[in-house]
Structure 1
Amino acid sequence: MKKLLIAAAAVAALTAGAAHAGDFTYNLDVTSDYVFRGVSQTNAKPAVQGGIDYAKGLFYAGTWASTVDFANGYELDLYAGVRPVVGKTSFDFGVLTYQYGESGVNTTELKAAVSHPLGKGTIGAAYFHNVDYGSTFYYEVNASYPITEKLSVSGAAGEQDLSGIKYSTGNIGLTYAISPTWSLDARYSDTNLPEIALLKTAKPRVSVTLKTTF
């Protein structure tokens, strides 16, 4: 936790001077359970999370951190890429590195994603390829739709392949815009992994997240 706070403070100090240019955005949230691709990263415990994003034209970069229940107790992500738009279709090509303070756990992925308007909502797909383990990848289809001006529904269905060990995962949830900068998300997620003792973190679960962006 101490290293997580130090890293977040360092990034904030480096970017604070340029924030007034309008290219930076910040986010902070607290969640009842940090779920990643259907698996709890906090052993069904709450997590504190936050990040900083920079965008200029097609280019974007950012960092995001969260408490976790393994490795050294924190996750620090760094990412960058480009988001070209062709007609009404948006693309996202980038690289993400996940850092946990242990060399055997740290890893990097390449990302390719696309989204397109569908009525009032959007539909999309994404593919992530792990550069450290060539036969490890994840892909999903996703969609979102506004129910009212403040309430929207979204979900995704994906497949994770861990060097030949495969499982399916999915989630669906509701997001309520409390204000222009605050939102509340309630989400159900599940996998088809067997509910044995070592995989209790992959059982069906509901997580609630309060998030602010500024």
Structure 2
Amino acid sequence: MKKLIGVALAAGATVMSAGAANAEVSGSVALVSDYVFRGISQTDGGAAIQGSLDWSNDMFYAGVWGSNVNYGATGTTELASMELDAYVGVTPTTGPVSWDIALVGYFYPNADDELAGGELDYYEGIVGASMDLTEQFSVGGQVAYTPEYFGETGEGIYYEINAGYAVSDAVSFSAAYGVQDNDFATDSYSTWNVGGAYAIHGFTLGATYSDTEDAFENGYSLDETNSDGRFVFSIGREL
């Protein structure tokens, strides 16, 4: 996913019946120079248009998020061109710790599962936590688990630590380090990223550099270039 720690059911009837004063509906749209998920390009190095629709009510939230993708079985044959994620979660607080507990489903509506050799759709349970060390600096982490990964390739688990620093209401920086481990692979791979964002006139401009170690060598990326280090530039707007 790609957008937040979240996951699996569109809010539909819930939004219509919630009716509470605290309920909010929001959306977003973004253009990115490359869609990178856990250090690996999902668009074969190409640009992506992404958008979301979200509902929240106090500590509960649900939503959907979408993007174009470009997966190839041999680097030339496309397995899927669209990703649609659905998520539901809760964000309780215990003392200084803010939690994000979610279920997220990753769906590929036009996927060729026969060509892929297995069902591409899958879901993850995600538990994230963060804490403000100062008014500007926060640290956090998350664990994501799936019993059946992309392409029906067995269990998968992802660990991440991250940090954020807000220079002002307009300028912020972030960094993260993660490890992905799956049954199908010979070993795990690691990924890291560092980036910044600038909010101006309702838009958010972003730049992030990410890289991986052993992603291609251990079978997580079909094309070595998709797991190489890269800059990603973005422009987004909340609706």
TM-score, length-normalised on structure 2? 0.77
CA RMSD of aligned residues (A): 2.5
Look up the equivalent residue of 1:57 and give its one-letter code. Answer: D
2:139 — aligned with what? 123
Look up the equivalent residue of 1:110 and give its one-letter code. Answer: G
Measure the CA separation in 1 of the matches of 2:145 and 2:126: 7
Match of 2:204 among 164, 183, 186: 183
Q: Percent identity?
A: 34
1:146 — aligned with what? 166
How many residues get paired?
A: 203
How far did 1:14 drift? 8.2
- Partner secondary structure for residue 223 of structure 2: helix
- Partner secondary structure for residue 137 of structure 1: strand
Residues 148, 155 of structure 2: 8 Å contact kept: no
Q: Once the two structures are superposed, what CA deviation does each residue of 1:92-135 show, in whole Å capped at 9, x if it has no partner?
A: 11100000133521110000000000211211000000132463
How far did 1:81 drift? 1.2
Looking at secondary structure, tell me which structure has more helix per residue. Answer: 1
Look up the equivalent residue of 1:147 and give its one-letter code. Answer: V
C-alpha change, 1:126 and 1:194, in structure 2 (3 Å) is closer
Residues 151, 175 of structure 1: 8 Å contact kept: yes
How far did 1:12 drift? 11
2:91 — aligned with what? 83
C-alpha change, 1:17 and 1:93, in structure 2 (3 Å) is closer
- Say if 2:109 is the partner of 1:109: no
Measure the CA separation in 2 of the matches of 1:66 and 1:194: 22
Runs in 1 of length 4+ with deviation above 6 angstroms?
11-18, 194-197
Measure the CA separation in 2 of the matches of 1:209 and 1:115: 24
1:69 — aligned with what? 70
- Partner secondary structure for residue 225 of structure 2: helix
2:31 — aligned with what? 30
How far did 1:199 drift? 1.9
- Say if 2:225 is the partner of 1:200: yes
2:180 — aligned with what? 160
Q: Once the two structures are superposed, what CA deviation does each residue of 1:127-186 show, in whole Å capped at 9, x if it has no partner?
A: 00013246311010011001234211101000001215310000000100113x310010
Residues 32, 46 of structure 1: 8 Å contact kept: yes
Measure the CA separation in 2 of the matches of 1:128 and 1:204: 23
In terms of mean alpha carbon deviation, does 94-103 or 41-50 score higher?
Answer: 94-103
Measure the CA separation in 2 of the matches of 1:42 and 1:203: 13
Q: Once the two structures are superposed, what CA deviation does each residue of 1:6-54 show, in whole Å capped at 9, x if it has no partner?
A: xxxxx89989979x97511101000000000000000111000000111
- Say if 2:196 is the partner of 1:174: yes
Q: Once the two structures are superposed, what CA deviation does each residue of 1:180-202 show, in whole Å capped at 9, x if it has no partner?
A: x3100100000012667832100
2:237 — aligned with what? 212
Residues 195, 206 of structure 2: 8 Å contact kept: yes
2:51 — aligned with what? 50
Structure 1 gap segments, 5+ residues each? 1-10
